Structure 1
Amino acid sequence: MERSEAMDLQSYVERVRREACFICSLLTGAPGFDLEQIVFEDDEHVAFLDRYPTLPGKVLAAPKRHVKHVVRDLDADAYLRLMAFVRRVALAVESVVPSERMYLLSLGSQQGNSHVHWHIAPLPPGTPYEEQQYHALMTENGLIRWSEAQAADLATRLRHACHVL
């Protein structure tokens, strides 16, 4: 999928600083999260499609509990359970979306998007080196335009893959 949609960074920054936590809102069933289709969850964690994908098949995974610090707010067992969840989702993504490398990273800020979440981002095969790594993840380099129907289709395939593993 081509990255043809520009990202309005100013509006995005204003929204994430003004509105309630997007992960907590998604989990409570707030309206406006049609693209963030949940692909897998257990008692403690949730994985869902990224609303602003820069790579095909990009998924976010997070604890359901509002945790702000990826290391110090989780004891060792909770951290390892979260990492096992991230791994399971990443393996499912790899089984559905062609990729030559899987990027896993925790981003966010105490100034916006403070709920701990991991980006699970499959790099498409053949991506030129200059367009890999951070370049591939940066919304400033464009977003993949996609529809609710495409999100639903991908989510269905990922749900199946997560349950098979």
Structure 2
Amino acid sequence: MERRPMDLDTYSEHAQNGPCFICCLVEGDPAYAHEIVYETEQHLAFLDKWPVLPGKLLVVPKQHIEHVVTDLTEDDYLAMMRTLRLVALAAEDVLGGERTYLFSLGSQDGNSHLHWHIARLPHGIPYEQQQFDALAFTNGVLTYTSTERTDLADRLRQAVAARATAAS
């Protein structure tokens, strides 16, 4: 899969001064549409538009929450973690790889809406290119054709649905 440079200046400008992209997505604004792979009353999971690793996903609460621990009740936190785990397991089913990275980023200065990243580290990546290096925008982002993105989202939706059915 090809990589293209990430326009970090434009990304940062939008993250700091634009509307909350997650709230816009939840509200259905077509300018902020993403390939959604799972949805509940409380959460969304969708493909990252700027993936640094194949099939990178985001899992978010629909409500604008900013702090990963203090803004959630224990029940809401555990519900978020169940959703995160379900989607991460489906990503493992579809994407393979040797490790799943789960992390929450953001800042009060930009991308403040709580969001968790799910990133699968493919097999065969040399150690010095794993972990923080594998997640760096400075290495560029992967490009998908619209067909590739739709196909990947379909496979992830099917895997999440199969796991959700098996769990119930």
User: TM-score by structure 1 length?
Assistant: 0.95
What pairs with 1:33-72 in structure 2 (closer than 5 Å)?
Answer: 33-34=32-33, 36-72=34-70
Query: By how many angstroms is 1:64 displaced?
Result: 0.6
Helix, strand or coil for the counterpart of 2:105? strand
The one-letter amino acid of 2:81's match is M
User: How many angstroms apart in 2 are the aligned matches of 1:23 and 1:99?
Assistant: 28
Query: Percent of counterpart pairs with the same letter?
Result: 52
Separation of aligned partners in 2, 1:20 and 1:92: 30
Tell me how far apart the structure 2 counterparts of residues 51 and 140 of structure 1 sit (CA, whole Å).
Answer: 15
Partner of 1:80: 78
Q: Name the CA distance, whole Å, in 1 between partners of 2:110 and 2:39.
A: 24
Q: Which of 148-157 and 51-60 deviates more? A: 148-157
* 1:30 equivalent in structure 2: 29
Note the residue ranges of structure 1 that are not aligned, 5 or more in a row: none
Distance 1:76 1:150 in 2: 38
Deviation, 1:5, is 0.4
| Partner-residue secondary structure (3-state), 1:112 | coil
Counterparts of 2:67 and 2:146, CA distance in 1: 31
Deviation track 1:71-121 (CA, whole Å, cap 9, x = no partner) reads 000011110110010000000000000210000000111111000000000
Decide which of 111, 132, 150 is 2:130's aligned counterpart. Answer: 132
Report Cα offsets for 1:35-61 as digits up to 9, x if no partner.
x20000111110000010000010000
Q: Distance in 2 between matches of 1:68 and 1:30?
A: 21
Amino acid at match of 1:164: A
Residues 96-135 of structure 1: pairs in structure 2 closer than 5 A: 96-135=94-133
Aligned length: 163
Q: Deviations over 1:14-46 (max 9, x none)?
A: 111121111111111112335x20000111110
| Structure 2: stretches of 5+ with no match in the other structure | 164-168
**In the alignment, which of 155, 158, 161 is matched to residue 156 of structure 2?**
158
Aligned to 1:18: 17
Letter of the aligned partner of 1:122 in structure 2? R
> Which whole-Å CA distance do the structure 2 matches of 1:11 and 1:47 have between them?
24
